[in-house]
Every structure is written in C-alpha cells, then in structure tokens.
Structure 1
Amino acid sequence: MGSLQNGLFGGFNGRVGNLVGYILNGKNVIRTIGHSGKPLSPARKINCDRMKIVNDFLHPVTPFIKLGFKLKVLGTDRNYYNEAVSYNKKHAITGVYPNAEMDYSKAMLSMGTLLKAENPQIQLIGTAIEFTWDVPDDLPWENRKDRAMLQICFPGNTQQTHCLSASHREDGKHTLQIDPSLVNARIEAYISFIKADGSAISDSVHAGSIAKKEKVAEPEIEKQDLIEKETTSAHKTLKALKKPAVNIQLTLATNTRIAAQHSHFLWQNSSNLKLNYTLFPT
C-alpha cells in the first residue's frame, strides 16, 4: 500500500497497483513494475545482452565504483552505479550480439579530474599482485600524497580484491595479496588515485592483464612397464635380504592403483604415491 506525502498532490511511497513510488536523491520517482509478455525485439535483445555483460563485470566491484563515481554524480539525480553502467555499456564492449564481450582495457571504474596513473603495470609474485607506476621528477607537490586505489578482477569469477587506500603516489608501487586459489586465474587490474580527504579522484587506468594458466597434464606411465620395473627391483632386494617375507616401501611417480601377480612374488599396494608392498616368495 502506498502512502501520500505532502497531501494529495505530493509524491507517494510504496506500491499502488503496478506503480511504485520512492525518493531518489531528494526527488520523487514513480515507476511501473511487472514483466512484459511481448517477445523481445532484436534491438531489446542486443540491449539486454550488453546490460548483462556490463552488470556481470560491475557487480563484484561495487565498493570501488561507489567511491569512483561518487563525485561524478554529486549534485545530480543520478547514482554511481547507473553512471558506471552507462559509460561502460557505451565504451567498454566489443563485438556484436550474440558474440559481444567486455573489453577490459577500455573499462572505467572511476572518473575525475585528478592526475591519472602513468604507465601502470602489474606482475604476479607468489600469491600477490605487485602494482607499479611511474613517478615523474616534476610531479606536483600537492599530488605526492595522493592515495592509490587498486582493483583486481577475475573474469568469469565473482571474487575480487581491492584496496581503496593503498600506497602514496610518490611510492611508485603497492603489493596486494590475492586468494591463493586464484593465482592461475585470468586477472584484470585497475588503478586510480584519490586525494587523502576524498575531494578529488582520477580516471581509472587499466593496469594490465595476466592470462589464465592452464594446468599441464602429467604424462601417463604405462602400467605394465611400471609393474615390470618395480617387481624386478623388489625381486633383487628380496634375494639380497634372503628372508622369506619382507615389507618394502616403494615410491612411484603415479597415482594409479596397481595390484598384480608376478611369477615370483605376490604383491599389492596400499596407497597411491607411497606404495607399501609385502612380498612372499613362491
């Protein structure tokens, strides 16, 4: 149920039929709700596809763009998220429907008038990403204490890592830890600078990409060849010990379970990598 504000001719809050009223940035807004039963036109399909691409990119980085577009929409009835969507849908998508995709090098996560990062780069060091940027000799004094804002995205993954108050501009670098499980994932990184008091911010700059690392499959070992090599070694060991039965631990470069009958020994494994055999002469 909706409630009137400021009398009969004022705005209202809540729902009345298929209308919803609310206040956005000090203004009364009324919109309709519900789903259209009409089939999507080609133009709407393209628009919906582009909206999904941009939203999939922006939703995980909401904390960053909330600060990054805050000053851009200050004093207007727009909000930071819609501003980010509007820019990136127009400028950061490449290709055509249904093969459109995000162009991460053109994405923008902040907009402002402060000096941008110069020549930013990234590199993976263990489980951390090191950001570096140039510090010009003629860097104005008032910009030396600007704080770096760093954002790391993992396309295809909703996880993200960010730091909204990193090293000073004059430091030229900052290291940001990431989830160890994501060190082999594709990485897209961004950097902005912001005044210590938040009064000004720079446009974001794409700091670089790191390609996804595919795991290399280990070569398979022929099972029969492995059996022959291990049983021959075990036979020699048992003859040297001259005992009727002995436990021998063997280490194999495979995780394949093996159980076999040899002409001289009966032997079985009890694990994958470290194999404990009990051998009995026949």
Structure 2
Amino acid sequence: MGKINQGILGGVSGQVGNVIGGTWKGIDYLRIKPSSVANPRTEGQVDQRSKFSTVLRFLQPMTDFLRVGFKLYANKMTQFNAAMSYNLNNAITGAYPSFAIDYANSLVTRGNLTGAVGGAASSPSAATVEVTWTDNSGSGSAMATDKALILLFNATRGESVFTTAGPVRTAGTESISVPSEYTGEDVEVFLAFISEDGSKVANSSYLGSVTVA
C-alpha cells in the first residue's frame, strides 16, 4: 500500500476503481483491492469436493466405530480424519458427478494385526445378519483372545450398526441384530479384529453386501 502525505489532495478514504484509501493511526494509506477469482469452482475443485462428500456420507454414520478402528493412525489428526484421508485416496470409484465408494478397497479399521480369513455374511432370519470366519489364531500376530469388530453399513438410510466388543477370534461367528425397518434393504458388511488389550487393530475385510431378511 502507498502512504499519502497531506497536501492539495488531502486525505483519501473510500474506494476509487480498484484503489482503496483509508486512515490508520492518523496516517493516510492507499492499497490495491485484491483481484477477485473469476471462477473459484474450477473443475478440479468441484471434482475434489464431490469425492469428499461421497466419502463423508460413507463415514459419518460410523464415527464412533472409527475412533476404535483408526486409533493407531490418528497422528496429529482425529481418527475420523485419518479414515477420511485413507478412503479418499483408495476407495473412490467412478467419475464426476457419479462417484461411489469402492467397498472392496475401503477400510473402516486399519492396523497391522493379522486380519480375518474365510469371512462370510448372510441374513438367515428376520432383522439379523450373521457373520462367520475361520479361526486363524496363531497365524502371524493373530491371538485366540482377539475380539471381533463388525460393522454393517446401510447406504440407503445413511446408517450403520456395529460392535467394537464382539466375540473372540476362536468363536468363528456372531449374529448382529438390525432394525426391523432394514428388511429387504442391503447392508455392506465389514469384519476386523482388535487385540485384547486394544493395542493392535487389523485391517477390515469387506464381506460383501447382504439383503436383510
């Protein structure tokens, strides 16, 4: 900004063209008004915002679950933001304006504990989803006492049902009750494990989509 001494023009105030005049502590100044951005919504910006919204709709209903599932990756950020970062970079499919979540490549838990094997999901009875897995205790870092982390995501309603204190790895099965209103609707099923002391978490496994009986 340019300083103006008092003279035949006197002090300057207000705006003339793209020049704005004012007074600060008895000193008159001029500054140039910043140029406005002609198109703040560039193609890249719109594209990124659409991706962000897509991941946000997926993760918001499971915020409490993510506090457990991503707690080991919340370095200088929240667990939710850590999950957002991972899924933005790895779990988006499609093109604008039709982005979608690639569930097979998404993670709702993340860590280096040995994960689930032989996982499967079904709905054998009304308002119930049954999750099964093979006991792989002793393989890698898998322990018999690891507890199951199970999440069901209902994309139609933008809701999730989950447990962060499921049965131990050796149990091999768990039944999750869902609202009766889910009957006939699909839920996306995820399975992971957490160590007994909570210090280790496994990457989640996507078990597919199940239509609730």
TM-score, normalized by length of structure 2?
A: 0.77
The reply on whether 1:171 has 2:156 as its aligned counterpart is no
The reply on whether 1:107 has 2:106 as its aligned counterpart is yes
Identify which range, 119-128 or 144-153, moves more after superposition.
119-128
**Offset at residue 212 of structure 1 (A):** 7.9
Alignment correspondent of 2:155: 155
TM-score, normalized by length of structure 1?
A: 0.59
The reply on whether 1:60 has 2:61 as its aligned counterpart is yes
- Which amino acid in the other structure matches residue 187 of structure 1? V
Segments of 5+ residues of structure 1 without an aligned counterpart are: 1-35, 214-282
Task: Sort the Cα spacing of 1:100 and 1:158 in 2 relative to 1 into closer, same or farther, 3 A.
Answer: closer
Q: How does 1:64-79 map to 2 (within 5 A)?
A: 64-73=65-74, 76-79=75-78
**Offset at residue 160 of structure 1 (A):** 1.5
Aligned length: 176
Alignment correspondent of 2:12: none
Percent of pairs with identical residues: 24
Aligned-partner Cα distance in 2 for 1:142–1:95: 35
**Offset at residue 102 of structure 1 (A):** 1.1
Q: How does 1:175-254 map to 2 (within 5 A)?
A: 175-211=175-211
**Offset at residue 49 of structure 1 (A):** 0.3
Task: Sort the Cα spacing of 1:136 and 1:178 in 2 relative to 1 into closer, same or farther, 3 A.
Answer: same
**Offset at residue 159 of structure 1 (A):** 2.2
Do 1:122 and 1:208's aligned partners in 2 also have CA atoms closer than 8 Å? yes
Aligned-partner Cα distance in 2 for 1:72–1:211: 32
Do 1:151 and 1:161's aligned partners in 2 also have CA atoms closer than 8 Å? yes
Give the match's secondary structure for 1:61: helix
**Offset at residue 72 of structure 1 (A):** 1.6
Pairwise CA RMSD: 2.1
Aligned-partner Cα distance in 2 for 1:141–1:43: 42
Do 1:120 and 1:208's aligned partners in 2 also have CA atoms closer than 8 Å? no
**Offset at residue 158 of structure 1 (A):** 2.2
Residues 53-75 of structure 1 show CA distances to partners (whole Å, capped at 9, x for unaligned) of: 000000001111111111122xx
**Offset at residue 97 of structure 1 (A):** 0.8
Do 2:151 and 2:162's aligned partners in 1 also have CA atoms closer than 8 Å? yes
Task: Sort the Cα spacing of 1:137 and 1:88 in 2 relative to 1 into closer, same or farther, 3 A.
Answer: closer
- Which amino acid in the other structure matches residue 165 of structure 1? A
Identify which range, 49-58 or 195-204, moves more after superposition.
195-204
Do 2:118 and 2:133's aligned partners in 1 also have CA atoms closer than 8 Å? yes
Segments of 5+ residues of structure 2 without an aligned counterpart are: 1-36
**Offset at residue 139 of structure 1 (A):** 4.3
Do 2:113 and 2:203's aligned partners in 1 also have CA atoms closer than 8 Å? yes
Aligned-partner Cα distance in 1 for 2:48–2:63: 21
Give the match's secondary structure for 2:134: coil
